[in-house]
Amino acid sequence: MTSRPGGRSARVREAVLHAVHTELVERGYPGLTVEQVAERAGVHKTTVYRRWGTVDVLIADALDHTRETEWPVPDTGTVEGDLIAIATEVADTFADPARHPLPVAIVVAALQSPRAREAKRAFYAARHTEAAKVVTRAIDRGELPPHTDPVELIRLTCAPLYYRVFVTGEPVDRTTAERAARAALTAARAGLL
Amino acid sequence: MTSRPGGRSARVREAVLHAVHTELVERGYPGLTVEQVAERAGVHKTTVYRRWGTVDVLIADALDHTRETEWPVPDTGTVEGDLIAIATEVADTFADPARHPLPVAIVVAALQSPRAREAKRAFYAARHTEAAKVVTRAIDRGELPPHTDPVELIRLTCAPLYYRVFVTGEPVDRTTAERAARAALTAARAGLL
């Protein structure tokens, strides 16, 4: 078995992680099993057990794989436009039946598995760092106080959407997203972040 | 079996739900079983199976029971003080090893069980309604714009704390709590909520 990019090992990982996504969409986290992932990926189950071991490790690796992909940081010309774009992307993800299941499965898996917890922490740290570029650009343009914590403004923009999805079980939409972005921005402009 | 308050049925429920809390603190959600809850409560396991059926229903009932208890709404004299008190209470809950496990278990259970999901929704709706009293009082005192959505201000106060605990895996403390409360209040004062 080789681990060079594009080799058999990479193709197996691609097929298995794609199967994880599909199984999550169709069955959700409680229904996910190593056997079904292997069968859907067309890979022998002992290969999956040997390389990943458990469902939580499969989910953690799917998240690592997502983190490795490019995420286009918005650049609308204003920090308000950029933050609304980021919040809207979050809201759209949760409204999309094909994209919703992975973040949900990750939250559940992370509460049960240290490997998934670390993958989740690394994923959000990486996404926050990327997204924070819109804030540092805004500080450079003089749109925000120079001492603003860029990551904290990203957290406050996204938090109300995740709160509805994971905690209160309330719906999110683009109106919720815009309000969250504007509220966070107002706090930043007031010098609170 | 009687269902009058204080009767045998109520005592069994009290013992079983107390055992659910203790088991959650000691083992966490993945380790919770009906058998261990029954043993710790000193109740026969068939009684627990007949009345609750599954671990997720036990957790949902523990949440219903928590919802039925009084929650002291803060009344510090200013909306800023009240919101900081609410956010601090959330942060203190997550910092307390004895209180942290129930909300965590509820989030996991709710993603896997409709009964737990409904209990969670009802719990947060009830707590939001209670907490929103501090906002309506502030509107009456002229501290906030009259059209402010009281529940939305409570959501924005609490969301950054839950976001750290459940999504990014970052710590929460009283500084985080105060900043969340002040940021939400600033948005409300600006007429955004």
Per-residue model confidence as pLDDT tens digits over A16-60: 999 998 888 888 777 889 999 999 999 999 999 999 999 889 988
Q: Is B104 exposed, middle or buried (0-12, 13-18, 19+ CB in 10 A)?
A: middle
The structural domains of chain A, with segments of one domain joined by +, span: 8-53, 68-189
Cβ contact B108:A117 at 8 Å: no
Structure tokens at B86: 């609410």
Nearest to B167 among A156, A162, A186 (CB): A162
| Residue B67 contacts A where some CB pair is shorter than 8 Å | no
CB contact under 8 A, B183 and A160: no
Using DSSP's 3-state secondary structure scheme, residue B95 falls into helix
* Residue B101 confidence (pLDDT) above 60: yes
pLDDT, residue A26, reads 83
pLDDT, residue A163, reads 96
Give the dihedral sign, CA B38/B39/B42/B43: positive
Question: What are the residue ranges of helices labelled H in chain A?
Answer: 8-27, 34-41, 45-51, 55-68, 79-95, 101-110, 114-131, 133-140, 150-162, 174-189
User: What average pLDDT score do residues B33-41 get?
Assistant: 95
Task: Show residues of chain B in contact with A190, CB under 8 Å.
Answer: 186
Instruction: Name the most confidently modeled range: A3-12, A24-33, B9-18.
Output: B9-18
CATH label, A68-189, candidates 3.30.1360.120, 1.10.357.10, 1.10.3080.10, 1.10.260.40: 1.10.357.10
Complex ipTM value:
0.88
Question: A172 or A64, which is more confident?
Answer: A172
* Residue A1 confidence (pLDDT) above 50: no
Query: Which of A157, A167, A170 is most worth mutating to test chain B (most B CB atoms within 10 A of its CB)?
Result: A167
* Residue A2 confidence (pLDDT) above 50: no
CB contact under 8 A, A160 and B155: yes
* Residue B26 confidence (pLDDT) above 90: no
User: What average pLDDT score do residues A112-132 get?
Assistant: 89
CB contact under 8 A, A111 and B104: yes
| Residue A165 contacts B where some CB pair is shorter than 8 Å | no
Structure tokens at B46: 């068939």
Question: B60 or A173, which is more confident?
Answer: A173
pLDDT, residue A113, reads 81
pLDDT, residue A129, reads 93
What is d(CA B83, CA B76) in angstroms, rounded to the nearest whole number?
9
Cβ contact B121:A168 at 8 Å: yes
pLDDT, residue B104, reads 83
* Residue in chain B nearest A155 by alpha carbon: B160
User: What average pLDDT score do residues B132-137 get?
Assistant: 97
Categorize the per-residue pLDDT at A4 as very low, low, confident or very high, splitting at 50, 70 and 90.
low
Identical topology for domains A8-53 and A68-189: no
| Residue B192 contacts A where some CB pair is shorter than 8 Å | yes
pLDDT, residue A30, reads 75
What is d(CA A43, CA A98) in angstroms, rounded to the nearest whole number?
23
* Residue A135 confidence (pLDDT) above 90: yes
CB contact under 8 A, A179 and B169: no
Model pLDDT for residues B51-79, shown as the tens digit of each residue? 999 888 998 898 888 887 777 899 999 99
* Residue B1 confidence (pLDDT) above 50: no
pLDDT, residue B89, reads 94
* Residue A8 confidence (pLDDT) above 60: yes
Q: What residues of chain B, 119 to 158, have a C-beta less than 8 Å from chain A?
A: 120-121, 124-125, 128, 152, 155-156, 158
User: What average pLDDT score do residues A171-186 get?
Assistant: 96
Nearest to A112 among B30, B167, B187 (CB): B30
Task: Show residues of chain A in contact with B193, CB under 8 Å.
Answer: 179, 183
Q: Is A25 exposed, middle or buried (0-12, 13-18, 19+ CB in 10 A)?
A: middle
* Rg over CA atoms, chain A: 19
CB contact under 8 A, A169 and B120: yes
Closest CA to B120 of B132, B133, B102: B102
Q: Tell me which CATH homologous superfamily contains domain A8-53.
A: Homeodomain-like (1.10.10.60)
* Å between A4 CA and nearest CA of chain B: 32
pLDDT, residue A6, reads 66
Residues 6 or more apart in contact with residue A50 via CB below 8 angstroms: none
Categorize the per-residue pLDDT at A178 as very low, low, confident or very high, splitting at 50, 70 and 90.
very high
Model pLDDT for residues A61-112, shown as the tens digit of each residue? 988 888 877 778 999 999 999 999 999 999 999 988 888 888 888 888 888 7
Task: Show residues of chain A in contact with B121, CB under 8 Å.
Answer: 168-170
Measured in Å, how far apart are chain B's first and last C-alpha atoms? 50
pLDDT, residue A117, reads 87
Q: Is A106 exposed, middle or buried (0-12, 13-18, 19+ CB in 10 A)?
A: buried
Range scoring the smallest mean pLDDT among A71-85, B112-126, B170-184: B112-126
| Residue A21 contacts B where some CB pair is shorter than 8 Å | no
Q: Looking at domain B69-189, which CATH architecture does it have? A: Orthogonal Bundle (1.10)
Nearest to B117 among A164, A169, A187 (CB): A169
Query: What percentage of chain B's residues is helix, strand, coil (to nearest 5)?
Result: 75, 0, 25
Q: What angle do CA B172, A172, B161 make, to 5 degrees?
A: 5
Q: What angle do CA A51, A56, A59 make, to 5 degrees?
A: 80
Categorize the per-residue pLDDT at A149 as very low, low, confident or very high, splitting at 50, 70 and 90.
very high
Nearest to A186 among B30, B125, B190 (CB): B190
| Residue B179 contacts A where some CB pair is shorter than 8 Å | yes
Task: Show residues of chain B in contact with A28, CB under 8 Å.
Answer: 112
Categorize the per-residue pLDDT at A181 as very low, low, confident or very high, splitting at 50, 70 and 90.
very high
CB contact under 8 A, B187 and A183: yes
CB contact under 8 A, A162 and B159: yes
Question: A191 or B30, which is more confident?
Answer: A191
